[in-house]
Amino acid sequence: MPSSSVPARAAVPVRIGTMESSSTTGGGTRREATRQKLYEAAVTLIAEQGFSATTVDEIAERAGVAKGTVYYNFASKSVLFEELLRHGVGLLTASLREAAEQTAREDGSRVDALDAMVRAGLVFIDRYPAFTQLYVAELWRTNRAWQSTLMVVRQQAVAVVEGVLREGVDNGEFSDEIDIQLTAAALVGMVLVAALDWKSFQPERSLDDVHAALSRLLQGRVSGKG
């Protein structure tokens, strides 16, 4: 309801300044660029406010596109969100796997692999803090449309950690009494919460610093004199 009468006609469609033809990979990449802008806008807004409290109008505005464009590119608000989740966790999983494999290639121990994965996790969170926030906030909710997506995607990431633990047990490096699933969850939690604390409350600290603190904890070098 506009406060008073309004032209209601676009009249002169102002040219949108620097569009610059986007280029990138020649063909239909304009669309892809728009989707990327929408992801970026959505991830920060939803991390700050939550899914339901974030409006499609806000997302469109921050991305610098019209609301209709959101619906031209995504079937709905929740589909946009789901694709965002899949995309983000895909990056994380790849990064963890890469860390584990590289350690294996260098004949490192499985503890080294865990340590490398801790670092990879920190690097990820350092790079995508908003995504991490949002992910944590949604992970344990029930009754949400994207629950199953989240489940699948979570399992992919945790499975990488579980795999390393299992290898360690198999080759005798870890006690065969450890509970793989629970230990993996605990390790993920350790990194997740420590990193979010870092980003939220002491962002000035360096990644190496944080990594060192977690390494110590991971390797049980807490007890006893330094």
Partner DNA sequence: GTTTTTGAACTGACCAGTCAGTCTAAAAAC
Partner DNA sequence: GTTTTTAGACTGACTGGTCAGTTCAAAAAC
Within 13 Å and on the Cβ side, how many CA atoms surround 12?
2
Binding DNA (rule: CB under 7 A), the pick from 24, 50, 57, 181 is: 57
Q: Token pair for residue 217?
A: 């904890």
**CB of 162 closer than 8 Å to CB of 180:** yes
Nearest CA to 76 out of 38, 103, 49, 27 is that of 38
- 73 counts as binding DNA under rule CB under 7 A: yes
Q: Which is nearer to a copy of itself, 73 or 146 (CB)?
A: 146
**How many residues of this chain interact with a copy of itself, rule: CB under 8 A?**
60
Restricted to residues 156-215, the positions that interact with a copy of itself (CB under 8 A) are 172-179, 181-183, 185-194, 196-198, 200-202, 209-210, 212-214
Which of DNA, a copy of itself, none does 30 bind, CB closer than 5 to 8 A by kind? Answer: DNA
State the Cα–Cα distance between residues 99 and 96, nearest whole angstrom. Answer: 5
Distances (CA, A) of 181 to 167, 187, 188: 13, 10, 11
Q: Which is nearer to DNA, 34 or 93 (CB)?
A: 34
Restricted to residues 15-44, the positions that interact with DNA (CB under 7 A) are 15-16, 21, 28, 30-31, 33-34
- Cβ 153 to a copy of itself shortest distance, Å: 14
Which of DNA, a copy of itself, none does 12 bind, CB closer than 5 to 8 A by kind? Answer: DNA
Q: Which is nearer to a copy of itself, 70 or 125 (CB)?
A: 125
Which of DNA, a copy of itself, none does 219 bind, CB closer than 5 to 8 A by kind? Answer: a copy of itself
- 48 counts as binding DNA under rule CB under 7 A: no
- 140 counts as binding a copy of itself under rule CB under 8 A: yes
127-164 b/e with 16+ CB inside 10 Å = b? ebbbbbbbbeebeeeeeeebeebbeebbebbbebbbbb
- 182 counts as binding DNA under rule CB under 7 A: no
State the Cα–Cα distance between residues 106 and 111, nearest whole angstrom. Answer: 13
Angle between helices 129-139 and 29-49 (to 10 degrees): 60
- 9 counts as binding DNA under rule CB under 7 A: yes
**CB of 39 closer than 8 Å to CB of 127:** no
Tell me which DSSP letter residue 142 carries.
Answer: -
Residues making contact with a copy of itself (CB under 8 A): 47-53, 111, 133, 136-144, 172-179, 181-183, 185-194, 196-198, 200-202, 209-210, 212-214, 216-217, 219-226
